Amino acid sequence: MTRRSDRGVAGGSASDGPVPVLKEEIAKRLRAGGLDPADVSAVVAAALAEDLAGGADVTTAATVPAGDLGRAEVVARAAGVVAGLPVAETTFWLASDGGTLACTPRAADGDRVAAGQSVLTVTGPIGPLLTAERTALNLLCHLSGVATLTRQWADAVAGTRARIRDTRKTIPGLRALEKYAVRCGGGVNHRMSLSDAALIKDNHVAAAGSVSAAFAAVRARAPGLPLEVECDTLDQVAEALAAGADLILLDNFAIADITAAVNLAAGRALLEVSGGLTLDRASSVAATGVDYLAVGALTHSAPALDFGLDLLSPVNASGAPCC
Protein backbone atom coordinates (compact mmCIF):
# COMPACT_ATOMS: atom_id res chain seq x y z
CA MET A 1 0.00 0.00 0.00
CA THR A 2 1.14 3.52 -0.67
CA ARG A 3 2.60 5.15 2.42
CA ARG A 4 0.44 7.93 3.81
CA SER A 5 -0.35 9.07 7.33
CA ASP A 6 -1.55 6.64 9.96
CA ARG A 7 -4.93 8.30 10.22
CA GLY A 8 -7.87 6.61 8.56
CA VAL A 9 -10.76 8.15 6.66
CA ALA A 10 -13.66 9.72 8.50
CA GLY A 11 -17.04 8.22 9.03
CA GLY A 12 -16.35 4.50 8.76
CA SER A 13 -15.82 3.14 12.25
CA ALA A 14 -18.33 1.36 14.45
CA SER A 15 -19.36 4.80 15.65
CA ASP A 16 -20.44 7.79 13.58
CA GLY A 17 -17.32 9.82 14.36
CA PRO A 18 -13.98 9.99 12.59
CA VAL A 19 -11.73 6.93 12.57
CA PRO A 20 -9.37 7.17 15.59
CA VAL A 21 -5.63 7.34 15.04
CA LEU A 22 -4.42 3.76 15.05
CA LYS A 23 -2.43 2.61 18.06
CA GLU A 24 1.27 2.91 17.21
CA GLU A 25 2.01 -0.65 18.28
CA ILE A 26 -0.50 -1.97 15.72
CA ALA A 27 0.57 0.53 13.06
CA LYS A 28 4.19 -0.54 13.50
CA ARG A 29 3.31 -4.19 12.85
CA LEU A 30 1.35 -3.23 9.75
CA ARG A 31 4.20 -1.14 8.40
CA ALA A 32 6.66 -3.97 9.09
CA GLY A 33 4.55 -6.14 6.81
CA GLY A 34 4.60 -3.56 4.02
CA LEU A 35 1.07 -2.31 4.71
CA ASP A 36 -0.07 1.29 5.12
CA PRO A 37 -1.94 1.65 8.44
CA ALA A 38 -4.20 4.33 6.98
CA ASP A 39 -5.27 2.10 4.11
CA VAL A 40 -5.84 -0.87 6.39
CA SER A 41 -7.89 1.33 8.72
CA ALA A 42 -10.00 2.48 5.76
CA VAL A 43 -10.71 -1.10 4.65
CA VAL A 44 -11.61 -2.17 8.18
CA ALA A 45 -13.74 0.92 8.81
CA ALA A 46 -15.69 0.27 5.61
CA ALA A 47 -16.25 -3.37 6.64
CA LEU A 48 -17.49 -2.35 10.10
CA ALA A 49 -19.77 0.27 8.58
CA GLU A 50 -21.15 -2.31 6.14
CA ASP A 51 -21.98 -4.65 9.02
CA LEU A 52 -23.78 -1.94 11.00
CA ALA A 53 -25.50 -0.43 7.94
CA GLY A 54 -25.99 2.87 9.73
CA GLY A 55 -27.70 1.29 12.71
CA ALA A 56 -26.72 -0.58 15.86
CA ASP A 57 -25.78 -4.14 16.75
CA VAL A 58 -29.27 -4.97 18.00
CA THR A 59 -28.50 -8.43 19.39
CA THR A 60 -25.45 -7.35 21.37
CA ALA A 61 -27.18 -4.24 22.68
CA ALA A 62 -30.08 -6.36 23.92
CA THR A 63 -28.03 -9.14 25.56
CA VAL A 64 -24.91 -7.41 26.92
CA PRO A 65 -25.34 -4.92 29.78
CA ALA A 66 -23.45 -1.70 29.23
CA GLY A 67 -20.08 -1.74 30.96
CA ASP A 68 -19.68 -5.51 31.14
CA LEU A 69 -16.12 -6.57 30.51
CA GLY A 70 -14.66 -9.83 29.31
CA ARG A 71 -11.85 -11.71 27.70
CA ALA A 72 -12.03 -13.56 24.42
CA GLU A 73 -9.65 -15.83 22.58
CA VAL A 74 -9.43 -16.02 18.80
CA VAL A 75 -8.84 -19.72 18.21
CA ALA A 76 -7.86 -21.66 15.10
CA ARG A 77 -10.43 -24.33 14.27
CA ALA A 78 -8.09 -25.98 11.76
CA ALA A 79 -4.36 -26.19 11.15
CA GLY A 80 -2.81 -23.73 8.74
CA VAL A 81 -0.78 -20.54 8.38
CA VAL A 82 -2.05 -17.42 10.12
CA ALA A 83 -2.11 -14.03 8.38
CA GLY A 84 -3.91 -10.83 9.28
CA LEU A 85 -3.49 -10.64 13.05
CA PRO A 86 -2.68 -6.89 13.02
CA VAL A 87 -5.67 -6.43 10.70
CA ALA A 88 -7.88 -8.15 13.27
CA GLU A 89 -6.34 -5.95 15.96
CA THR A 90 -7.17 -2.91 13.85
CA THR A 91 -10.78 -4.09 13.71
CA PHE A 92 -11.13 -4.39 17.47
CA TRP A 93 -9.34 -1.06 17.97
CA LEU A 94 -11.63 0.82 15.61
CA ALA A 95 -14.79 -0.90 16.84
CA SER A 96 -14.02 0.34 20.35
CA ASP A 97 -13.38 3.90 19.16
CA GLY A 98 -9.67 3.51 19.64
CA GLY A 99 -8.53 1.80 22.74
CA THR A 100 -11.11 0.30 25.07
CA LEU A 101 -10.39 -3.15 23.62
CA ALA A 102 -6.86 -4.44 24.16
CA CYS A 103 -5.33 -7.17 22.00
CA THR A 104 -2.44 -9.49 22.80
CA PRO A 105 -1.13 -11.57 19.87
CA ARG A 106 -0.39 -15.22 20.69
CA ALA A 107 1.19 -15.92 17.31
CA ALA A 108 2.81 -13.97 14.47
CA ASP A 109 1.70 -13.71 10.87
CA GLY A 110 3.35 -16.46 8.86
CA ASP A 111 3.32 -18.94 11.75
CA ARG A 112 1.92 -22.40 11.27
CA VAL A 113 -0.87 -22.87 13.80
CA ALA A 114 -2.63 -25.99 15.08
CA ALA A 115 -6.33 -26.57 15.53
CA GLY A 116 -7.34 -25.33 18.97
CA GLN A 117 -4.47 -22.84 19.22
CA SER A 118 -5.22 -19.31 20.42
CA VAL A 119 -3.71 -16.66 18.16
CA LEU A 120 -5.11 -13.49 19.76
CA THR A 121 -6.49 -12.48 23.16
CA VAL A 122 -8.94 -9.57 23.30
CA THR A 123 -9.97 -7.96 26.58
CA GLY A 124 -12.32 -5.10 27.41
CA PRO A 125 -15.98 -4.15 26.95
CA ILE A 126 -17.99 -7.08 25.62
CA GLY A 127 -20.28 -4.90 23.51
CA PRO A 128 -17.77 -3.65 20.92
CA LEU A 129 -15.91 -6.95 21.15
CA LEU A 130 -18.94 -8.86 19.88
CA THR A 131 -19.82 -6.16 17.36
CA ALA A 132 -16.36 -6.48 15.81
CA GLU A 133 -16.23 -10.28 16.00
CA ARG A 134 -17.48 -11.20 12.53
CA THR A 135 -15.62 -8.42 10.70
CA ALA A 136 -12.34 -9.39 12.38
CA LEU A 137 -12.88 -13.07 11.68
CA ASN A 138 -13.89 -12.48 8.06
CA LEU A 139 -10.59 -10.74 7.38
CA LEU A 140 -8.48 -13.13 9.45
CA CYS A 141 -10.05 -16.28 7.96
CA HIS A 142 -9.67 -15.06 4.39
CA LEU A 143 -6.10 -13.82 4.71
CA SER A 144 -5.04 -16.94 6.62
CA GLY A 145 -6.63 -19.05 3.90
CA VAL A 146 -4.53 -17.26 1.29
CA ALA A 147 -1.37 -17.76 3.39
CA THR A 148 -2.18 -21.42 4.02
CA LEU A 149 -2.72 -22.20 0.33
CA THR A 150 0.43 -20.28 -0.60
CA ARG A 151 2.44 -22.28 1.92
CA GLN A 152 1.19 -25.54 0.35
CA TRP A 153 2.44 -24.39 -3.05
CA ALA A 154 5.73 -23.10 -1.62
CA ASP A 155 6.31 -26.41 0.13
CA ALA A 156 5.56 -28.26 -3.11
CA VAL A 157 8.42 -26.52 -4.95
CA ALA A 158 10.89 -26.55 -2.05
CA GLY A 159 14.36 -27.60 -3.13
CA THR A 160 14.05 -26.03 -6.58
CA ARG A 161 14.90 -22.54 -7.78
CA ALA A 162 11.24 -21.75 -8.44
CA ARG A 163 9.23 -19.31 -6.36
CA ILE A 164 5.45 -19.14 -6.08
CA ARG A 165 4.07 -15.84 -7.36
CA ASP A 166 0.61 -14.31 -7.20
CA THR A 167 -1.40 -12.45 -9.86
CA ARG A 168 -3.83 -9.52 -10.07
CA LYS A 169 -6.77 -11.93 -9.66
CA THR A 170 -7.67 -10.37 -6.32
CA ILE A 171 -10.86 -9.25 -4.60
CA PRO A 172 -11.36 -5.54 -5.39
CA GLY A 173 -10.23 -3.42 -2.46
CA LEU A 174 -8.28 -6.24 -0.79
CA ARG A 175 -5.30 -6.56 -3.14
CA ALA A 176 -2.65 -5.22 -0.77
CA LEU A 177 -3.93 -7.39 2.08
CA GLU A 178 -4.14 -10.51 -0.09
CA LYS A 179 -0.67 -9.98 -1.50
CA TYR A 180 0.56 -9.48 2.06
CA ALA A 181 -0.99 -12.84 2.94
CA VAL A 182 0.84 -14.42 0.00
CA ARG A 183 4.11 -13.16 1.45
CA CYS A 184 3.14 -14.59 4.84
CA GLY A 185 2.71 -17.97 3.16
CA GLY A 186 6.14 -17.94 1.56
CA GLY A 187 5.20 -16.60 -1.87
CA VAL A 188 6.36 -13.52 -3.73
CA ASN A 189 4.35 -10.77 -5.35
CA HIS A 190 3.88 -9.96 -9.00
CA ARG A 191 2.99 -6.37 -9.88
CA MET A 192 0.62 -4.52 -7.57
CA SER A 193 -1.01 -2.52 -10.35
CA LEU A 194 -1.07 -1.90 -14.08
CA SER A 195 1.35 1.00 -13.66
CA ASP A 196 4.28 -0.48 -11.75
CA ALA A 197 5.21 -3.13 -14.37
CA ALA A 198 4.22 -4.04 -17.92
CA LEU A 199 2.93 -7.44 -18.99
CA ILE A 200 2.42 -7.95 -22.71
CA LYS A 201 -0.37 -10.50 -23.13
CA ASP A 202 -1.95 -12.14 -26.17
CA ASN A 203 -4.41 -9.30 -26.76
CA HIS A 204 -1.60 -6.76 -26.71
CA VAL A 205 0.31 -8.86 -29.24
CA ALA A 206 -2.81 -9.04 -31.42
CA ALA A 207 -3.28 -5.27 -31.20
CA ALA A 208 0.38 -4.48 -31.97
CA GLY A 209 0.80 -7.13 -34.66
CA SER A 210 3.60 -9.21 -33.12
CA VAL A 211 5.51 -9.90 -29.93
CA SER A 212 8.45 -7.80 -31.09
CA ALA A 213 6.23 -4.87 -32.11
CA ALA A 214 4.44 -4.90 -28.76
CA PHE A 215 7.77 -5.14 -26.93
CA ALA A 216 9.23 -2.20 -28.83
CA ALA A 217 6.12 -0.08 -28.22
CA VAL A 218 6.20 -0.63 -24.45
CA ARG A 219 9.95 -0.08 -24.24
CA ALA A 220 9.58 3.21 -26.10
CA ARG A 221 6.82 4.45 -23.81
CA ALA A 222 8.23 3.20 -20.49
CA PRO A 223 11.94 2.46 -20.96
CA GLY A 224 12.70 1.86 -17.29
CA LEU A 225 9.66 -0.19 -16.33
CA PRO A 226 9.92 -3.95 -15.63
CA LEU A 227 8.55 -5.71 -18.72
CA GLU A 228 7.26 -9.27 -19.02
CA VAL A 229 6.11 -10.94 -22.24
CA GLU A 230 3.47 -13.67 -22.27
CA CYS A 231 4.16 -16.37 -24.85
CA ASP A 232 1.88 -19.12 -26.12
CA THR A 233 4.45 -20.94 -28.28
CA LEU A 234 8.16 -21.64 -28.40
CA ASP A 235 8.39 -19.47 -31.52
CA GLN A 236 7.08 -16.54 -29.47
CA VAL A 237 9.64 -17.32 -26.77
CA ALA A 238 12.39 -17.08 -29.36
CA GLU A 239 10.91 -13.80 -30.64
CA ALA A 240 10.72 -12.36 -27.12
CA LEU A 241 14.33 -13.35 -26.44
CA ALA A 242 15.47 -11.77 -29.68
CA ALA A 243 13.65 -8.56 -28.74
CA GLY A 244 15.55 -8.46 -25.43
CA ALA A 245 12.90 -9.59 -22.95
CA ASP A 246 14.30 -10.28 -19.49
CA LEU A 247 11.13 -11.95 -18.16
CA ILE A 248 8.93 -14.34 -20.14
CA LEU A 249 5.60 -15.86 -19.11
CA LEU A 250 4.98 -19.35 -20.50
CA ASP A 251 1.21 -19.68 -20.79
CA ASN A 252 -0.29 -23.19 -20.71
CA PHE A 253 2.93 -24.91 -21.78
CA ALA A 254 3.34 -28.68 -21.49
CA ILE A 255 6.26 -29.93 -19.39
CA ALA A 256 8.29 -30.82 -22.48
CA ASP A 257 7.79 -27.34 -23.93
CA ILE A 258 8.67 -25.70 -20.60
CA THR A 259 11.93 -27.67 -20.60
CA ALA A 260 12.56 -26.60 -24.19
CA ALA A 261 11.93 -22.95 -23.25
CA VAL A 262 14.40 -23.22 -20.35
CA ASN A 263 17.03 -24.56 -22.74
CA LEU A 264 16.20 -21.90 -25.31
CA ALA A 265 16.47 -19.07 -22.81
CA ALA A 266 19.72 -20.48 -21.40
CA GLY A 267 19.68 -17.96 -18.56
CA ARG A 268 19.11 -14.92 -20.79
CA ALA A 269 15.66 -14.29 -19.27
CA LEU A 270 13.70 -15.27 -16.20
CA LEU A 271 10.87 -17.67 -16.94
CA GLU A 272 7.45 -17.80 -15.31
CA VAL A 273 4.84 -20.51 -15.88
CA SER A 274 1.07 -19.98 -15.69
CA GLY A 275 -2.09 -21.76 -16.74
CA GLY A 276 -3.16 -25.30 -15.89
CA LEU A 277 -1.03 -25.48 -12.78
CA THR A 278 -2.08 -27.82 -9.98
CA LEU A 279 -0.46 -28.66 -6.68
CA ASP A 280 0.21 -32.25 -7.71
CA ARG A 281 2.28 -31.18 -10.72
CA ALA A 282 3.91 -28.12 -9.16
CA SER A 283 7.13 -29.96 -8.28
CA SER A 284 7.55 -31.37 -11.79
CA VAL A 285 7.03 -27.93 -13.33
CA ALA A 286 9.49 -26.37 -10.89
CA ALA A 287 12.04 -29.11 -11.62
CA THR A 288 12.35 -27.88 -15.23
CA GLY A 289 14.38 -24.93 -13.97
CA VAL A 290 11.84 -22.11 -14.32
CA ASP A 291 12.00 -19.18 -11.94
CA TYR A 292 8.34 -18.62 -11.03
CA LEU A 293 5.01 -20.39 -10.95
CA ALA A 294 2.18 -17.85 -11.25
CA VAL A 295 -0.84 -19.13 -9.33
CA GLY A 296 -4.03 -17.09 -9.53
CA ALA A 297 -5.78 -19.52 -7.20
CA LEU A 298 -3.77 -18.18 -4.26
CA THR A 299 -6.10 -15.20 -4.11
CA HIS A 300 -9.17 -16.02 -6.18
CA SER A 301 -9.83 -19.55 -4.87
CA ALA A 302 -8.19 -19.92 -1.45
CA PRO A 303 -10.55 -21.59 1.04
CA ALA A 304 -10.87 -19.70 4.32
CA LEU A 305 -8.95 -20.99 7.30
CA ASP A 306 -11.51 -21.28 10.07
CA PHE A 307 -11.07 -19.23 13.23
CA GLY A 308 -13.58 -18.65 16.00
CA LEU A 309 -13.87 -16.23 18.89
CA ASP A 310 -14.57 -17.73 22.30
CA LEU A 311 -15.80 -15.35 25.02
CA LEU A 312 -14.38 -16.21 28.44
CA SER A 313 -14.53 -14.76 31.94
CA PRO A 314 -17.21 -12.09 31.46
CA VAL A 315 -17.37 -9.64 34.38
CA ASN A 316 -19.54 -6.63 35.08
CA ALA A 317 -18.33 -3.06 35.44
CA SER A 318 -17.51 -3.59 39.12
CA GLY A 319 -15.26 -6.53 38.33
CA ALA A 320 -17.58 -9.21 39.68
CA PRO A 321 -18.47 -12.24 37.55
CA CYS A 322 -21.64 -11.59 35.59
CA CYS A 323 -22.48 -15.23 34.86
Residues that are catalytic: 134, 169, 201, 230, 251
The contacts of residue 223 (CB under 8 Å, 6+ apart) are none
Q: 3-class SS at 227?
A: strand
The contacts of residue 173 (CB under 8 Å, 6+ apart) are 43, 46
Smallest CA-to-CA distance from 83 within 191, 190, 188, 182 is with 182
CB 290 within 8 A of CB 162: yes
- Euclidean distance between CA atoms 45 and 21, whole angstroms: 12
The type of residue at 180 is Y
The contacts of residue 319 (CB under 8 Å, 6+ apart) are 69
Smallest CA-to-CA distance from 3 within 37, 33, 42, 29 is with 37
- Euclidean distance between CA atoms 218 and 221, whole angstroms: 5
